[in-house]
């Protein structure tokens, strides 16, 4: 479990990820309205605040997450396969997909860690080894 400035992320025993709190900038990972704005949602399409833990879907469905970290305005998770997914505020490149846009859904990072297996459980310090 990890707490950011105004949101929290937790991993359940089955490896699923749940977030709650302030949904601004996509930091909860529930998309931009529509189907993800269910029970416990507050606000409009852009501000999906969640008052209760809500499962993050998207690219994480079927994956087992083993590490989570809530940044100030973004969220990072690591799967048991060593893949890193990020979502939330992206104006400074913190989403790691090479762009500067906010991501409202889990996004697989690219760049130097693409094709590498992340080892360790702290999302703030990532060490990479090749898949070979």
Query: Is pTM, for the whole model, over 0.85?
Result: no
Q: Is there a contact between 29 and 58 (Cβ–Cβ < 8 Å)? A: yes
Q: Summarize pLDDT for 5-49 with one digit per residue, the tens.
A: 899 999 999 999 999 999 888 999 998 764 444 444 445 544 578
Tokens 């790691």 correspond to 96
**Domain regions of the chain by residue span:** 2-130
C-alpha 12/C-alpha 66 separation (Å) is 9
């Amino acid at each position: 479990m990890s707490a950011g400035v105004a949101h929290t992320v937790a991993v359940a025993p089955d490896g699923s990820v749940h977030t709650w709190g302030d949904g601004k900038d996509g930091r909860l990972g529930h998309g931009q309205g529509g189907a993800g704005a269910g029970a416990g949602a507050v606000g409009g399409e852009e501000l999906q605040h969640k008052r209760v833990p809500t499962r993050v879907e998207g690219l994480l469905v079927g994956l087992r997450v083993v590490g989570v970290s809530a940044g100030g305005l973004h969220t990072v998770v690591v799967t048991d396969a060593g893949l890193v997914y990020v979502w939330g505020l992206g104006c400074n490149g913190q989403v790691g997909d090479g762009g500067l846009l906010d991501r409202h859904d889990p996004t697989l990072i690219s760049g130097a860690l693409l094709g590498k297996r992340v080892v360790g459980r702290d999302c703030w310090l990532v060490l990479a080894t090749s898949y070979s």
